[in-house]
Amino acid sequence: MVTLSKTPAVRPFSDRYSRQVLFPGIGEAGQERLSVAHVALVGCGATGAAAANLLARAGVGTLTLIDRDFVEESNLQRQVLFDEADAQDALPKAEAARQKIALFNSEVAVHAHIADLTHGNIHALLTGADIVLDATDNFETRYLVNDYAVEQHKPWIYSAAVGSYAVTMNILPGETACLACIFPKPPTGTVETCDTAGILNSAVNLAASIAVTEAIKFLAGARDRLRRTLLSCDLWTNEWSSVSSSHPRADCEVCQSRNFLHLRGEGRPHVTLCGRNSVQIHEHGRPVDFGELEARLKPHGQVRSNNLLLRFERGEHTLTLFADGRAIVQGTTDVALARSLYARFIGS
């Protein structure tokens, strides 16, 4: 059983949370618990931005935001913490979210990490969080979070949205089914993505709202109110379904056999990002001198940089390089071509 890191003493709150404190399920004791709670959000895109917004406004004391990506104009239709200036500057999403949260709730401590969550950094990035919320766009990262959560006996909430469809499930290691109990293998064949099926911002906000409400139940001490089903709904067709996740699957490789394949880093592929024709290149821990690189690349294309990233545009391809050496190559889904462009202009 997971316990929160601090045992709060009840104290009066300012008018900021007065309407939330009036709600019987929270009250002053629950609000105090929220104020000392720590939530980690993996992903600050559509679902993550909506969840971070709700958690910060609810008064969760500490948020850890992890995202590998940057803001683009196409994000603004559904990613509620970002604006046109963020897209114009190609600001990393984690940092843009941190800046926006500081404008409406400076009491919340926000730790922004411009990083791709991997088996090599997951323990460092998620340590200290009372609960983890999934806001990613791929099953590889979700399986990694699931491995970590089961290993550490830490609760997490799976969420996804595409088209008009939203789905979410609470995972309480040792009590409920884990992600691998329900999905032993990732989806195969043709799978809809934001790029192929589009997405309604209402579906994103529904998934985030349900996930955040479940997280608040847990953090406020209302564990008995936590939903123990995989809940899915289609807002366009009005179809809702619920599958029990109350008990672990007896032969689950992860939560029963404790075989943490993803936590060991086995078979991690390049990930094609949701909503774009792009490939991510994993080159972590490589020191990057943006000033030197900008001068070197200027004769070959358009370059702009800040202290967080560098963007290099050449023909139909755009290469966005982050401070840890990781890059997103836009304009192709060909991994070999993306690696070739990286090696040619950044080095190998």
| Range(s) of the domain holding residue 122 | 15-244
Residues 155, 68, single domain; the answer is yes
175 and 42 in one domain? yes
End-of-domain residue from the set 186, 221, 244 = 244
Shared domain check, 64 and 123: yes
Residue partners of 59: CB distance under 8 A and separation at least 6: 13, 16, 17, 20, 31, 34, 35, 105, 107, 108
* Shared domain check, 172 and 318: no
The tens place of each residue's pLDDT in the chain, 348 residues long, gives 444 544 444 455 679 999 999 999 999 999 999 999 999 999 999 999 999 999 999 999 999 999 989 999 999 999 999 999 999 999 999 999 999 999 999 999 999 999 989 999 999 999 999 999 999 988 889 999 999 999 999 999 999 999 999 999 999 999 999 999 999 988 765 466 776 678 999 999 999 999 999 999 999 999 999 999 999 999 999 999 999 999 999 999 999 999 999 999 885 665 566 667 888 887 666 678 899 999 999 999 999 998 899 999 999 999 999 988 889 999 998 887 888 898 888 886
Strand ordering across the sheet containing 165-171: 109-114, 62-67, 38-42, 131-134, 156-162, 165-171, 229-234, 239-244
Q: Which residues of 304-343 are buried (b: 16+ CB within 10 A; e: fewer)?
A: ebeebbbbbbbeebbbbbbbbbbbbbbbbeeeeebbebbe
In-domain check, residue 265:
no
Instruction: Verify that 237 and 338 share a domain, yes or no.
Output: no
> Which of 218, 244, 270 lies at the terminal end of a domain, its last residue?
244
CATH code for the domain in which residue 309 is found: 3.30.310
Query: Which pTM does this prediction carry?
Result: 0.85
* Residue 147 included in any domain: yes
The answer on 303 and 236 residing in a single domain is: no
In a domain, 259, yes or no: no
332 & 205 share domain:
no
Are both 87 and 229 inside the same structural domain? Answer: yes
Residue 230 within a domain = yes
If one counts the domains in the chain, the total is 2
CATH number for the domain that contains residue 207: 3.40.50.720
**Domain end among 244, 260, 286:** 244
